[in-house]
Chain A
């Protein structure tokens, strides 16, 4: 069928070329419109339900907000997990949906369920859905800088909140603009409790008075003189004076105004975050959060344009300074990848030119290469795969292999034409070319398919790794498929046009000659001394095994984002004032580095549901200058003081003494300077950090969740489990995350005393809430601005425990009706009628207590996590079984008691790993099976298939060496590279065997195969004569990857980790396949020859030879089957465990028997008259 397609494409070449042109145009259009971002969005489809109930302690918010929310959302459809997290005054509920759920569908489900629960929440708690974005959508951040010093922070924040924010939110693609830093302005009514006491008022009188004094009303219309007039009652207050003049009570015409008992001013609301710019003091900053699935580059472009438009409207002296802009990263990353792609194409093209030394022919692969790449963008566009480092990387690692088909075809055509007479007719030429194409193209088409198929397991990745690498797998597969398609359509269509003119025969070709001269003796020696060759291979394998076992591992390969994120942490309960000072100090130090462009410090959280940072966490964005402008550092070179002076300039050019600082150097220096007591430093990068911050649950291999209703009890159980699990062998670390550390001031009412005074708890609570906490009483409406009005005690009356104890509570008998402190001296004569109020301490105990700074809630219960990390060589599944058994034992032994209503759940990454394992168990065999089927279709011989697959372990040797030398850890990126390598290695094997087979079979047909020497010669011809196409395919693959290895800049690191195992593997597989495959192949053919001869001689010993082979096949089959079945069949079936042992014993016995019998057979053969020729010496 493929042959048919090739022929037809050659025939209707105009049509095919026109279609190719159309495809190219479509591809270019798709490339222009495809989404751009730095890395794929790694977040689960999740909806954040964010509730603000300002000023309430975590435990209170948990009980009244998070718990009802979590329990009601549990029932929503397609929900995987509902996780609640409660902080001071805030509740975050993360509703995680099944992968692939449409986010807007999910959001409307959550809204539905919210409707039912809303009535159960406190009236003044505001619940809303988070934006349709995640922290990864933080693409742009700016600071408002006022260089004139004429605007205070409150004014800047007001401008940010009410002008800038709305303007930017209206930009398409922006989900939300989060404000951080400064303070929200509010009217603060600071009440003097002593004066209140004197007027016999309580704070609730003030609250009521203020609340009732701020409203606008409408009263339809009045009709006067044929016109209608809208009636409005104007009662919003707009100034502090308006509030001051509010009357609380009038007594015989004497008003008691707010100003009599309180002071009204404009001030800052309580803050959970602050921002600092360059260590120069506090600032106001805004974070632009991008919507899910948007084109980041476009969104940033629009935001920048909008900011430019807004410039004239800024308050005088205020500037908008960008402090983080992902555009640069995206551009740099895309640029890096683009450069690499271009370099790759050029290198590949040059390699082809060099090997063919024929420009016209070289054009064929050179044309189809970009065509294949461009075509890959069409499915990308339609499937919505954004162009990121990953997806472009997929193209980059595929490039080397795309042109293999064309190369092999062109080479075959050259070979055919070499021997053709010079005065060839057009028809004759075309016939020859078609013949060449038919000979090799199907094989190479199959190998392209194999490369594509072998990547199948990558599609089985789940979770973040899946989200990260699936785009890469997609694009790589797209490129491979389009390359395969082009190789059987466009390439045949073009070949008659391009393969023309004078063609170097391989014998005359300079490059081929050099290669042959080097390679020929190697092959001869290898074939004659096969044992040493095999030994080299075995030794290489052995050398790689221990390295492979010791490679480190990492979750995600580093990505140089160009900017730094300084993220120190301290203990909970830091006060905002202290936090601010520390932040400023840190920023000052950071700013003093000459490599730093700007520093924007953020402590605590930004006003967005996508940021759950506590006040104890700093996230400072440090923008760095381009690497070229960094300081240099001195490196003492070996030549200093050892070489004569005249050599120095040359040496310095080669190995400069001053090299630019590396990122690590800079970070190290910063780290040293920033060693501040009480902080643990961490340097990361903005996107990386947002990925880390994503709420993805437990990330250790194993987590034990302890569910229950009381935190103290959970802690007890968690610690007990910690001890039990700790004792297990294979435990690397175990840690119960303790929830304490928060500080509380508890006001505990004494119910006895309350009863005596006739007070209810609500009376106390009212005072605690309003007097100490301050209640947002109402909101003013001033044009576009909205400010809340807050009533609370003056600072002095709530700044210490003693002051809190003094807060007064009005006794129920007193009230407005009691006429306090008479106006005349007559009353004074009998003393003042002091209002009946008592201090808080009379009826409540005020004390400091420790408690959780943050509370987790899952499935409607409080939960504590025990994190368990296990040793790398420990199998997760059996470990979990053992740990479960240990916990059960401890429970029955009584060392671990879990109260009724409490339960534990085993979870963690191992669930994901198990899931992934299950997928891989299906996908890898399928990939392997398809590969084998494809190979079998090609070779029609199972042994040859196995020999081809032999190249895979040798390729892996190279990748392990490469990783070891480059000091790369094992990460998913590396695995992806390894998986990609398997396909490539198989391909090199295919190419090798195809040519050897060609040579062998030709000779066999001619009857030239009679001795081992004949075989060796045939194989030497197959390998040496056709070294050019093999080297061409390998070197284009290899050279196509090398630019990735030397690439510098953003995104290069990830690609390097994918490319390194591929490059290493290709080098060794090239060397080892060129050497070892012929040798193994020769062994096999040698045996075949022996058998044939024995058959000719009708020696009965042949049966004895065939017998152990059959036994070998059977026992090997059983061995493999039993080993494989152990992966799939669980349960301790005893005989299944013994089977591999028995089978491998069988293999050993069969093999030794064979070797022994074979020895005898050769002796037998010597006695019968053999055909003339050399002796069998193998």
Chain B
């Protein structure tokens, strides 16, 4: 039995020696060397440790850092990336994403292309009757409306159509004078001077607004017309009429207003800032409720003044209106195709804006993506003008951007730590990734 005791003693002593050696002895140089952090807290990626354990903040179990994240964040990999430090935005780093993972996030890229992608501007517009197609009908001598031929607005009249018949004492007298004059000239005793008188009388009638056809019929009948027709000076729509039967017509008052709508004006109201982008001749598409397909015209005139009340400048587009479907007063909108600026373009979704910088992810290899700061210009139809940062032919990520950016930030924050055992001095990212622990 004594032997058994000695064996037990020996065993226990050995054990004691072993534990003291393993746990106390070499622990000094274990502390000395900085082991690579192999575990991190999924909630707080700044918390890293070379050994498994719990996160001091949230007590979640530390998870192993995936190998690709560690390698991706290693200085070797970032040094090999052809990015100069000035063009790389802060807090992000180049990332490697396998093609399988790319499918997982639905990653898509697009080529940076030089182009002249057009840009358009939409503004509200209203149709108005062209100023060039307006006509007013007035009497040239006071008179009385004896008969009204066209007695409502909105009807179409053709050029020379009689609109109303007006008895005017002045005109009547002029007719009689004219008839008298013709009678003298037709008489054999007529002298050549009398021909002049007749011609003068005829001119007087013409100046009073009688058409030559009417004068001819007077000449033929030899009787003055009591109520002379007032004729439409041009074809168009009656937009106003003031010829009430029996009323007195004065030259001061407008009897009819006629608008020629075979062409209409689209008046677009363009804000001060935008108006400089327009030129006479800029293509314009007009859409309104009645048009269906947009009508295409071009800028005819940009008004030189700004409407003070509306703070807009009126821009005129002339459109043909043969079927009369465009009606003045109608609302619509005009889309101007602005002059295309040549330059590099990427899809709008490619650009990440953080408020501090704007950057894109450039695919340097099939599975490696590098964040690159860019300067952007105007947006044109889903494309954004890139002033600097990328060159033509490079591929930028257009979809799956968010996940890629997150991965990049994650790896950047993993790489940012100094010694893993001594905590994190500066952990710029991963901010806000907190659980509900107020």
Contacts and interface: CB of A to CB of B under 8 A. Distances in A.
A676 B101 contact: yes
Interface in B346-402: 348, 353-356, 379, 402
A735 B406 contact: no
A543 interface: yes
A84 interface: yes
A24 B43 CA distance: 50
A822 interface: yes
A738 B105 contact: no
B355 A849 contact: yes
Contacts of A823: 329
Contacts of B259: 825, 829
Contacts of B16: 539-540, 542-543
Contact of B240 (A567, A572, A826, A835): A826
Contacts of A526: 5
Contacts of A585: 104-105
- B-side binding surface: helix, strand, loop or mixed? mixed
B44 interface: yes
Interface stretch (A507-515, A546-554, A890-898): A546-554
A1108 interface: no
Nearest to A823: B329
B23 interface: yes
Interface stretch (B45-53, B156-164, B218-226): B45-53
Nearest to A740: B431
Given A536-B12, A612-B436, A848-B355, A675 B105 contact: no
B13 to A, nearest CB: 5
Given A522-B1, A540-B16, A546-B24, A697 B437 contact: yes
Contacts of B271: 838-839, 842
B99 to A, nearest CB: 12
A692 B58 contact: yes
B280 interface: no
B286 to A, nearest CB: 13
Given A195-B331, A555-B54, A677 B406 contact: yes
Given A525-B1, A743-B355, A677 B101 contact: yes
Interface in B59-81: 59-61, 63, 66, 68
A832 interface: yes
Contacts of B89: none
A1177 B18 CA distance: 34
A92 B4 CA distance: 68
A737 interface: yes
A536 B406 contact: no
Contacts of A549: 23-24
Interface in A823-854: 823-832, 834-839, 841-842, 847-850, 852-854
A536 B20 contact: no
Task: Count chain A CB atoms within 10 A of each CB in B97, B126, B422 and give the residue with the most.
Answer: B126
Contacts of B66: 675
Contacts of A681: 42, 63
Contact of B406 (A678, A699, A723): A678
A899 B59 CA distance: 33
A567 B435 CA distance: 11
Contacts of B421: 732
Contacts of A835: 310
Contacts, number: 305
B34 interface: no
Nearest to A757: B311
A677 B134 contact: no
B424 to A, nearest CB: 6
Nearest to B45: A680
Interface in B393-438: 402-407, 409-410, 421-425, 427-438
Interface in A707-742: 722-723, 726, 731-735, 737-742
A929 interface: no
Contact of B47 (A581, A735, A739): A735
B9 interface: yes
A539 B436 CA distance: 49
A559 B269 CA distance: 70
Interface string B234-278: 000101100000000000000001010000000101011100000
B63 A680 contact: yes
B333 interface: yes
Contacts of B95: 677
Contact of A697 (B1, B312, B425, B438): B438
B207 interface: no
A326 interface: no
Given A682-B60, A699-B58, A823-B329, A574 B402 contact: yes
A845 to B, nearest CB: 13
A679 B408 CA distance: 10
Given A83-B438, A569-B42, A735-B423, A741 B402 contact: no
A41 to B, nearest CB: 17
B408 to A, nearest CB: 8
Interface in A524-558: 524-526, 529, 532-533, 535-536, 539-540, 542-547, 549-550, 552, 554-556
Contacts of B310: 834-837
B329 A838 contact: no
A1082 to B, nearest CB: 16
A926 interface: no
A571 interface: yes
A545 to B, nearest CB: 8
Given A680-B42, A696-B437, A699-B59, A831 B267 contact: yes
Given A549-B23, A677-B97, A824-B239, A682 B56 contact: no
B105 A836 contact: no
B43 A569 contact: yes
B199 interface: no
A1153 interface: no
A738 B5 contact: no
Interface in B289-328: 307, 309-312, 314, 327-328
A337 to B, nearest CB: 25
Nearest to B67: A675
A731 B104 contact: no
Contacts of B432: 571-572, 738-742, 852-854
B97 A831 contact: no
Contact of A827 (B101, B123, B329): B329
B306 to A, nearest CB: 12
Given A828-B129, A829-B134, A679 B239 contact: no
B339 interface: no
A544 B124 CA distance: 86
Interface in A546-595: 546-547, 549-550, 552, 554-556, 567-572, 574-575, 578, 581-582, 585
A842 B126 CA distance: 23
Given A735-B44, A836-B311, A695 B329 contact: no
Contacts of B328: 825, 828-829
A551 B97 CA distance: 39
Given A824-B239, A831-B314, A869 B56 contact: yes
21 contacts: A92-B436, A521-B1, A529-B5, A535-B9, A536-B5, A539-B15, A547-B19, A570-B402, A571-B405, A677-B104, A680-B40, A681-B42, A699-B59, A737-B434, A738-B427, A741-B431, A802-B379, A825-B237, A829-B239, A847-B355, A854-B434
Closest 9 A/B residue pairs (Cβ): A678-B406, A733-B423, A741-B432, A832-B126, A828-B328, A543-B16, A678-B403, A612-B436, A546-B23
Interface of B: 1-2, 4-6, 8-9, 12-13, 15-16, 18-20, 22-24, 40, 42-47, 51, 53-54, 56-61, 63, 66, 68, 95, 97, 101, 104-106, 122-124, 126-129, 131, 134, 237, 239-240, 257, 259, 267, 269, 271-273, 307, 309-312, 314, 327-329, 331, 333, 348, 353-356, 379, 402-407, 409-410, 421-425, 427-438
Given A195-B331, A681-B63, A849-B355, 7 more contacts: A571-B406, A677-B404, A677-B407, A682-B42, A684-B61, A733-B423, A825-B327
